[in-house]
Amino acid sequence: MKISVVVPVYNVELYLERCLDSLLNQTFNDYEIVCVNDCSPDNSIEILRYYEARYPERIVVLENERNLGLGRTREHALEYARGEYVMFVDSDDYVKNDYLETYFRAASASDADIIVGGYIRDVEGKLSQHIMPNSVWSTVTYALACTKLFKISFLRSNHLNFSDIACGEDIFFSLSAYCCNATYEVIPYAGYFYYFNSNSITGTMTYKKNHERMMSQIFSMLHERYDLASLSEEKQRVIEYAYIANMVNALAVFNRGCGVKLMEEKLAFVKNDAEKQFPNWKSNPYIGFLIPKGQTLKIRLGVGGTALACKLHLIKPLFYLFAITK
């Protein structure tokens, strides 16, 4: 078995058939689809059982005894997975029919632990393609576990796992791989359709869920799991930059419209957390509007603008703009 495709399932009866049909209609043959029902309250399990009965040579259905969340559900599937490689596909997303073949060809030509590809954003049928640059940032700040292919031997030998923090599983997983010196290959291909589901974890994130505190937990866990000080200076700075980028995203995107008073509280929390976890972040050599090479323009502007605002003592006015904008 070459590839195991892991599909966690929860409350996706409207999209599940599209996902499974896309995975069954592949130009590649040596693979399995491992679906895990995470105690879904809708009719997802009936759909899974129908597909399992129809395609027993291809589809395996597992069930969690209790709701575990996305990260732990993926780990349940990994315990079963028989492939040399694993790919993660969320059950409200779908893929092109050459998806598995394209990644496997890249893996066969490379000894990399991770093959990284791009994605196609699907917002109510409006599609936009995103090709990833050949850069370390495509494995660190582009933290989606989906759109990547992983050597299972690498994951198992390094005991990599997801966090159980909602909307943060992939960030912890990707940074853990980086701490374990994962090698990577970026391919100029986008075959994963990332569907914006307003009922998904990401789609329901608002300022009330305190995304900045989730990010704090994730990086605290990273400090606990790995001796970051033992990493090279470059790696430490890359992880530090990832922290800044995720905190800026939490404040500017997930806390949009929270109001000035609450934003002030959130800024105070982030300031204290940054001083505790990465006290020297303001001297990070990757901060800038034109650097780092390979980083997306959006992230460069966000991180560079935040650093400049701090220097000019304009950090509060900057984020107050997001606080009053929906």
266-307: pLDDT as tens digits: 999 999 999 999 999 999 999 999 999 999 999 999 999 999
Amino acid at 236: Q
Residue 325: pLDDT band by 50, 70, 90 thresholds?
confident
pTM here is 0.94
Ordered by start, the domain boundaries in the chain are 3-195, 207-323
Q: What is the pLDDT of residue 206?
A: 66
CB 100 within 8 A of CB 199: no
Q: What is the mean pLDDT of residues 75-81?
A: 96
Show the tokens assigned to 5. 């495709």
Q: What is the pLDDT of residue 204?
A: 47
Q: What is the CA radius of gyration of the chain?
A: 20
Amino acid at 104: F
CA–CA distance, 92 with 17 (Å, rounded to integer): 9
Tell me the HSE value of 59 on the side-chain side, using a 13 A CA sphere: 23
Q: Rounded to 5 degrees, what angle do the CA atoms 257, 262, 263 make?
A: 70
Query: What string of DSSP letters covers 149-206?
Result: EEEHHHHHHTT----SSTTTHHHHHHHHHHHTT--EEEEEEEEEEEE--TTSTTTT--
Amino acid at 291: I
Place of tokens 């879904």: 40
Residue 78's nearest CA partner among 94, 60, 96, 93 is: 60
Residue 319: pLDDT band by 50, 70, 90 thresholds?
very high
Residue 326: pLDDT band by 50, 70, 90 thresholds?
confident
Q: What is the mean pLDDT of residues 311-322?
A: 96
Percent of the chain with pLDDT over 90: 92
User: Is the model's pLDDT at 175 over the cut of 70?
Assistant: yes
Fold entry, domain 3-195: Spore Coat Polysaccharide Biosynthesis Protein SpsA; Chain A (3.90.550)
User: Is the model's pLDDT at 200 over the cut of 60?
Assistant: no
Residue 136's nearest CA partner among 174, 189, 87 is: 174
User: Is the model's pLDDT at 15 over the cut of 80?
Assistant: yes
Give 106-151 pLDDT, tens digit per residue.
999 999 999 999 999 999 899 999 999 999 999 999 999 999 999 9
